[in-house]
Structure 1
C-alpha cells in the first residue's frame, strides 16, 4: 500500500548563501562611496617653548562675533557678511606702524600695525548656523586672497597660480593667514 501522505519537495538552499554573499561583494566593489570634505585649514604649529602666551596689542586683533541669530558683529557693530571682506582688507593692510613698504592701508591707529601682526578673532555661538559660519570664513579667505593676489602681481608680475614654490612662500609671509576661532558654549 502506498502512503497517502506525500512529502513536499525540498529545495536545496545551500547555495543561496553563496549567491547572496557574491551579490553583496559585487555591490560593495561597484558602488562609489563619496567622502565628505571639510574646510581646508592648516592647524598652527605646536608651541615648543615654555611660554606660549604672547602679548598682543589690541589694535592688531579684529574681533568678529556671530551670535545665535546669525548676526555678524565686527568690533561690536552689526554689519552684513558682504561687508566683511572690505573691513578685513582694511584691517590687515593698514600699516599702522609704517613698516610695510608694500601695504596700501590708511595707517589708522585703530587697525593693525602690519599684516604679520594682524589677527582675526572669530567667535561664534553654539547655535550659529553652519552656513553663516562658512560664509564668514569665505569672506575672510577672499580678503586674504585679494591681498595675496595684489602682492603677487606687484612683486612677481604673476597671479598666485603661476608662482613658484619659493615665491608662494614669500607671498604667504607677506600676508600670513592668522585666524583664531572660538566657539562660545552657553551651557557653562
Structure 2
C-alpha cells in the first residue's frame, strides 16, 4: 500500500499578514507619553542687583518630607487643606499703607477680603509661597501640592474678575484667546488683554521651589 503524504499548508503569505497586522497596531495604538511640569524660569538679574529684604511674615512655607508628609508653616496639614490655607495667606492684605521694613512703598490692598492680620502677608504682590520637597518625595504628591496652590490663586483671580468685569478669570482668558485668533477683533483683544493683565497683577503667582533636602 502506498504511503500517504500529509498535505502541506502554504504559509508563504503568513509573514505578509503578520506584517500588515503589526503596521495596523502601530498606527492605531495610542501610547502614553510622560510629560514634565511646565515652569517659567525667572530672568537673570543685573550684576548690580541687590535683592530686597523679605519679611518673614510674607513667606508661606510648605515642606514635604520623604514620607510624603506635609508641614505648612511648621504645622502638620493634609493636602486637601492646603488650598484654603494658601488662599487665606495670599488674601490677608495686612499692609497698612506705610513704607515696609524692606524699604518698598507700602500700599494697602483695597480688594483683599482677608483678616488683615499683622502676622500674615502684607499684600498679594508681596506674598511668597516657598515649596521645599525631599529627594525621596513622591512626584505625584509634589504635583498634588502644586495643583492645590494654583487652585488658591485661581479662586482669588476668578472672584476679583467677577467683581471688576462680571465674568470669571477663566472665562476672561478664554475670551482673550478667542479674540486673538481673529483679525477683526484686534481692538477687543487689546481691551481683554488689559483686563487679564490687571487680574494677574492683582494676584501674581509667586511660588518658589526651594532646593530639595537630601
* TM-score normalized by the length of structure 1: 0.78
Deviation at 1:124, TM superposition (A): 0.9
Root-mean-square deviation over aligned CA pairs? 3.0
In the alignment, is the contact (CA less than 8 A) between 2:128 and 2:208 conserved in 1? yes
Deviation at 1:20, TM superposition (A): 6.0
Unaligned runs of 5+ in 2: 1-10, 97-106, 177-192
The equivalent residue for 2:78 is: 80
Assess, with a 3 A threshold, how the Cα gap between structure 1 residues 153 and 107 changes in structure 2: closer, same or farther: same
In the alignment, is the contact (CA less than 8 A) between 1:126 and 1:183 conserved in 2? no
Deviations 1:62-93 (A, max 9, x none): 11101122221112122222221221111111
The equivalent residue for 1:129 is: 138
Equivalent residue runs for 1:1-188 within 5 Å: 23-39=21-37, 41-51=38-48, 54-57=51-54, 58-98=56-96, 99=107, 100-163=109-172, 164-165=175-176, 166=193, 167-186=195-214
Q: Distance in 2 between matches of 1:53 and 1:66?
A: 30
The equivalent residue for 1:4 is: none
In the alignment, is the contact (CA less than 8 A) between 2:132 and 2:213 conserved in 1? no
Q: Which has the higher strand share?
A: 1
* TM-score normalized by the length of structure 2: 0.70
Q: Distance in 1 between matches of 2:204 and 2:144?
A: 20
